[in-house]
Amino acid sequence: MSGKGEAMEPFDPARDGAQMAFDGRMSYGDYLSLDKILDAQKPLSEAHDEMLFIIQHQTSELWMKLAIHELVAAKARIANDDLPPAFKMLTRVARIFEQLTGAWQVLRTMTPSEYTEFRDDLGQSSGFQSYQYRAIEFLAGNKNAAMLRPHQHVPETYQWLDGLRHETSIYDEALRLLARSGLAVDPAVLERDLAAPYQRDASVHAAWLAVYRDPGKYWALYDLAEKLVDFEDYFRRWRFNHVTTVERVIGFKRGTGGTSGVSYLRRMLDVVLFPELWDIRADL
């Protein structure tokens, strides 16, 4: 036992087997390309809070990249009747949006006075122009050709988004699964123009209602429905917190990208991705 006041020898992780030399070996920073990521914050002003603003949006884009990865994979699994992995992926997407919702709490520590110190430096850039957010909406079924226009200046991005607009959404694949499972879905729904916004349909309403009235018989479809509702639930919470954060920081000013700001964001709260899954709750 060491005597009173005697300094303890510092712990050396190498004695516990930790690798300490990385000349020619892959390190943590190498694997994650941290040099690139941590060099991507380029404030345009001297304002202290601009770093917060940049990191908030960059990390959101990273989470959205993962959400797209999961939604694309889940859509393919549903199309192939491979539901258990799809359920895991949709659960992960819901948790991603829970994470994104919590992130607004950090941005809310920035006051209106602090934001005005660098707002003019943003030019016309705006979250409205996030092509990954648009991809998530298209994958979920909220397709609006007008939303492609802000991306015309980058042909590769425009073509990617337009391709997603013309493909099945995850809800389209769920409705096709309903039909493959023997439930009566109007063929017109299954053969509709995929690039057009989805519209409520009575046959789809009846099919989901049958699932919810007999979960034991249609357990996989019932589970899929709840996974979709969970995703949309957290997606709505994220959008709502976006509105309240913007109102707290800029009030009712116009957005930097030219939108009406809070008024525009409030209109987006009325968008319902999977309408029948919400409508049937009044019938049960």
Cα–Cα distance, 73 to 70 (Å, whole number): 5
Q: Model confidence over 98-153: pLDDT tens digits?
A: 999 999 899 999 999 998 999 999 888 887 789 999 999 999 999 999 989 999 99
Question: How many CB atoms sit inside 10 A of residue 220's CB?
Answer: 15
Say which amino acid occupies 125. Answer: S
| Distance between CA atoms of residues 263 and 19, nearest Å | 55
Q: State pLDDT tens for residues 219-231.
A: 999 999 999 999 9
The three-class DSSP label of residue 221 is: helix
pLDDT recorded at residue 243: 82
48 annotated binding-site participant? no
| Alpha-carbon span 133 to 140, nearest angstrom | 11
Angle (CA) 264-195-66 rounded to 5° is 70
* Residue 22 annotated as binding site: no
Contact 100, 63 (CB under 8 A): yes
Its pTM stands at 0.89
Of the pLDDT bands very low, low, confident and very high (cuts 50, 70, 90), residue 4 is low
Give Cβ neighbours of residue 233 (< 8 Å, ≥ 6 apart): 94
Query: Is 200 one of the annotated binding-site residues?
Result: no
Residues contacting 135, CB < 8 A, separation 6+: 64, 68, 160, 161, 164
The residues, any chain, with a CB within 8 Å of residue 260's CB and separated by 6 or more, are 254
- Mean pLDDT estimate for the chain: 90
Tell whether residue 213 is among the known ligand binding residues. Answer: no
> How remote is the C-alpha of 201 from its chain's centroid?
26
Q: Which of 177-191, 199-213, 233-247 has the lowest mean pLDDT?
A: 233-247
pLDDT in tens, 62-109: 999 999 999 999 999 999 999 999 999 999 999 999 999 999 899 999
**Distance in angstroms (rounded) separating the CA atoms of residues 111 and 96:** 26
Is 109 annotated as ligand-binding?
A: no
In whole angstroms, what is the distance from residue 67 CA to residue 236 CA? Answer: 15
Instruction: Tell me how far apart the alpha carbons of residues 74 and 88 are, in angstroms, rounded to a whole number.
Output: 8
The pLDDT, as a whole number, for residue 114 is 93
128 annotated as ligand-binding: no
Write the DSSP string, 41-52. Answer: ---SSS-TTHHH
In whole angstroms, give the CA distance from residue 97 to residue 237.
8
- Report how far apart, in Å, the C-alpha atoms of 115 and of each of 39, 206, 227 are: 22, 49, 37
Domains, the chain, in order of start with CATH, read: 48-126+170-282 (1.20.58.480)
Binding site annotation covers 237? no
Alpha helix segments (H runs only) across the chain: 28-32, 34-38, 50-79, 83-107, 112-116, 131-140, 155-165, 170-180, 187-190, 202-213, 219-250, 262-268, 275-279
Confirm whether residue 205 is marked as ligand binding: no
Q: Is 108 annotated as a binding residue?
A: no
